[in-house]
Amino acid sequence: MARRVAIVGTGHSRFGVRYDVSIPELAFEAIREAVNEAGIGFDDIELVVVGNAGGWSSEPLPAIVVNEYAGLSGKATLRVEAACSTGSAAIKTARDAIASGDADIALAIGVEKMNESPTPTVVEFIGRAGNYFWEFENFGLTFPGYYALYATSYMFQYGAREEDFCSVAVKNHYYASMNPKAHFPRKISLEDCMRSRYVAWPIKLLDSSPITDGAAAVILASEEIAYKITDSPVWIEAIGAASDTSNISKRTTFTSLEAARLAAQRAYKKSGLDSESIVKNLDLAEVHDCFTIAEIMAYEDLGFVKRGEGYKLAREGQTYIGGLIPVNLSGGLKAKGHPIGATGVSMAVDITRQLLGRVEKGRQAEIRHGRGLAHNIGGTGHYAYVTIYSLSKPRGD
C-alpha cells in the first residue's frame, strides 16, 4: 500500500518583477519560510524537487544553484518541467517518492525568473509551447493567440460576452488586493478591463496574466513523520494527470481542454468523490486562469457547471466567497502572477493556508468540507494536473 503524504510546511516569495534577487535568492525566500513553518532543519530534507521551465533565465541548472544557496548540496535532487503545470509536476514527483517509501521528507520548490529576458523573447518562448514547426513557424501563434481561438469559439457557441471574461479579471484583482504576495495587489473595475488594449481579440491586456518572477515551496512528509511535525497536516488526497496533442488542430473542441477534463475525472475517482456533485465537496478552488477564458473553461472541465454555463458563474458572481464555489481567492494567475515553474506550488501553498485558516482577512474561505482543489494547465492543454488537498486523511490505495 502506498504511504499517505501530507504538506507540513509552506513558503511563498513575493511575486512580481524581481530585479532585486537572483534565482537562488528568490527560491530561498520560499524555502526558508516553508522550513521554518514546518519546524524542521534543512538536514531533515532528503529529496529536493525543483520545478523550473526556464529558457528565459540565466541558470541552465537551477536545481543545483538553488540547492547550493539553500545549503542543500548533497541531497538527492532533480529538476522537472511540464510547461505551466511544472509546479504541480514537482509536487507529484515529491509525493510519489514519499508514497513509495524512497523518502520521508521532501521539498518541492517552484521558481521562475521570467523577467531576465525581454518581453518579446518571453512571448516567443511561450508561443513555442505547442507544435513549434506547424503552429509557431507557419502561423506565428502566440499564447494570447491560442487562447483567443478558445475565446472566440466559446463566444460563438454559447453566447458569452467580453464583459463576462472581464468579470473574471475583476474578481481576481479584488482578491489579489488583499494578498501582499501578489504581483498586482490592486482592484480593477469592469470598465478598466473593457478599456484595456486588445492583445488578440477578444483577449485584452487585463484578460491576461503577467510575466512574473516568483517562488513557492512546500515540505511534504509521510504520515508517520507528518504527525510528529504538526497536528494539522494537509493531505494530498488525490492527483489526476493527463495530456493532449501537441498540435491543437488535431483536437475535437475549442471550448474545452480535454486533458483538464480527464485529469479531473481521474482525481475524483482516486478520491472517491462524486464528479456530478463535486462543488458540494469543496470549499474552494485555485484554477489556471492564464487568460480569463481559461478560468471559465475550467469551471466546466472540472464539472462545477454544465457545458456552456461557465460564463454565467462569472456573470452572476458565483465564484466569489459566498457563491457556489469560491475560485482563485489568491488572485489567480491573472493578478497574483504566473511565474511558470512556481504556479502549481503557489496554488498548493494558498489552498493549504486557506484550509488552515491562515490567509488574510477578506479572502479567507469558509471551511466546511476541509477540501480544496488545484487545477494546473501546461501549455494550451498539453499537460493537466488536478490535485485535491484535504484536512481529512485520505483512504489508502
pLDDT digits (tens, 9 = 90+) for 226-237: 999 999 999 999
pLDDT band at 132 (very low <50, low <70, confident <90, very high): low
The domain limits of the chain are: 5-118+211-229
In the predicted model, is pLDDT for residue 139 greater than 70?
Answer: no
pLDDT in tens, 38-53: 999 999 999 999 999 9
Q: Which of 337, 61, 378, 316 is nearest to 176 (CA)?
A: 337
Q: How far apart are CA 348 and CA 354, in angstroms?
A: 10
pLDDT band at 249 (very low <50, low <70, confident <90, very high): confident
Res 137: pLDDT: 59
- Which of 53-57, 265-269, 304-308, 388-392 has the weakest average pLDDT? 53-57
pLDDT in tens, 299-357: 999 999 999 999 999 999 999 999 999 999 999 999 999 999 999 999 999 999 999 99
Backbone angles phi, psi at 110, to 5 degrees: -110, 135
Average pLDDT rounded to a whole number, residues 112-139: 78
The single residue of 84, 166, 193, 290 carrying the catalytic annotation is: 84
> What value does the mean pLDDT of the chain take?
95
Q: How far apart are CA 337 and CA 213, in angstroms?
A: 8
Contact 31, 106 (CB under 8 A): no
DSSP-derived letter for residue 5 is E
Read out DSSP for 131-171? -IIIIIHHH---HHHHHHHHHHHHHHHH---HHHHHHHHHH
Res 153: pLDDT: 97
Res 141: pLDDT: 74
Q: Which of 109, 105, 110, 102 is nearest to 220 (CA)?
A: 105
CA distances from 210 to 40, 183, 290 (A): 34, 8, 8
Q: Is residue 338 annotated as part of the catalytic site, yes or no?
A: yes
pLDDT in tens, 56-72: 888 889 999 999 999 99
In the predicted model, is pLDDT for residue 298 greater than 60?
Answer: yes
Q: Which of 361, 340, 364, 369 is nearest to 353 (CA)?
A: 364
> Residue 308 burial by CB count (10 A; 0-12/13-18/19+): exposed, middle or buried?
middle
Res 231: pLDDT: 94
5-118+211-229: what fold?
A: Peroxisomal Thiolase; Chain A, domain 1 (3.40.47)
Q: How far apart are CA 341 and CA 109, in angstroms?
A: 9
Res 349: pLDDT: 98
The single residue of 12, 338, 375, 382 carrying the catalytic annotation is: 338
Read out DSSP for 191-258? HHHHHSPEEETTEEGGGB----EEEEEEEEEEHHHHHHH-SS-EEEEEEEEEE--SSGGG-S-SSS-H
Q: Is residue 166 annotated as part of the catalytic site, yes or no?
A: no
